[in-house]
Amino acid sequence: MIVHSGHLKEDHLFECYLATQTGEELDPRAAEHLADCDECVARYDEVVAFMDTTRQAADAETDAEFTAERLLLQQQQILRRLEHVHRSARVITFPGRDTLSGSRSVGRLTPRWVAAAAAAGLVIGVAVGGYFAPERFHRSVAGQVVADHPMTVQQRPAAPAAVRVNTAQDDPPDDDAFLIELELALARPHTRELQPFDAMTPHVRDINNRER
């Protein structure tokens, strides 16, 4: 911190600037000093000029990127996304039962008890599998969820092509989750036997650092 004997310190000058920005009351002693001291006024003006310049640069840059048209487009995109909020996804039955109802052959109809038996068998199988190999079970269930995902669609399929439904914040992308796991794994103690291999393997981060 710069200390000027008999003058306002840098942090006091900054507090004065902040007070004028936020509408707070100026420290009376500082205000009094600023009214009398040209040197401090000059230093204060430097602070104000720096802050104004950086703010103006940011505004100009943002305005150049986000023109009025782009902001309007963004508003429309937000609205389109809001239209999908609170609309539950539905599962498409495939093949559609209604479309096939006329041509379905009677001979292929199965009695209800067969379906019930198959369901019971499946439940027992999953339970036993989960008991004996819980890790594989969880992995396969996760795989099943992923496999099922493409079958769900929004209730309003007629949305314009320009709409981009982004759920990145709610559902982090898979590669991100993978990288988190990877970094956690690397943070754990290394296996001594694998360290020579690790030393021989070029790292992306090293290449990046070298290029910079």
Partner 1 sequence: MDEARERFTDLVAIHQRRAVRIAFQYLRDSAEADEAVQDAFVKVFTHIASYREAWPFEVWFTRILINGCLDRRKSRARRERWFVPADEHGQESATESTGGRSGPNPEERLLARERRGKLAAAIDRLDGRQRTVFMLCHYGDCSPREVSAMTGINESTVRVHLFRAVRKLRGFLGGKS
Give the span between the Cα atoms of 52 and 46, in whole angstroms: 10
**Which amino acid is it at 130?**
G
Please report how close the Cβ of residue 2 comes to partner 1 at its closest, in angstroms: 7
- For the chain, where are the alpha helices, taking DSSP H only? 10-22, 28-36, 38-65, 68-83, 97-100, 112-132, 134-148, 174-187, 195-200, 204-211
Judged by CB under 8 A, which of 51, 130, 137, 140 binds partner 1?
A: 51
Q: Considering only the stretches 27-35, 44-52, 95-103, 129-137, report the one whose residues sit in contact with partner 1 under the rule CB under 8 A.
A: 44-52
- Residue 109 binds partner 1, judged by CB under 8 A: no
Judged by CB under 8 A, which of 61, 148, 181, 198 binds partner 1?
A: 61
**Which amino acid is it at 86?**
H
Give the span between the Cα atoms of 57 and 112, in whole angstroms: 72
- Residue 179 binds partner 1, judged by CB under 8 A: yes
The four Cα atoms 10, 12, 17, 18 give a dihedral, to 10 degrees, of 120
Judged by CB under 8 A, which of 37, 81, 130, 159 binds partner 1?
A: 81
Contacts of 92 (CB under 8 A, 6+ apart): 151, 152, 153
- Residue 181 binds partner 1, judged by CB under 8 A: no
Q: Residue 3 or residue 204: which is nearer to partner 1 going by CB? A: 204
Q: Which residue has the tokens 């920005």?
A: 21
- Residue 207 binds partner 1, judged by CB under 8 A: yes
- Residue 168 binds partner 1, judged by CB under 8 A: yes
Positions touching partner 1 (CB under 8 A) are 2, 10-11, 14-15, 18, 22, 46-47, 50-51, 54-55, 57-62, 64-66, 70-71, 74-75, 77-79, 81-83, 85-86, 166, 168-170, 172-173, 175-176, 179-180, 182-183, 204-205, 207-208, 211
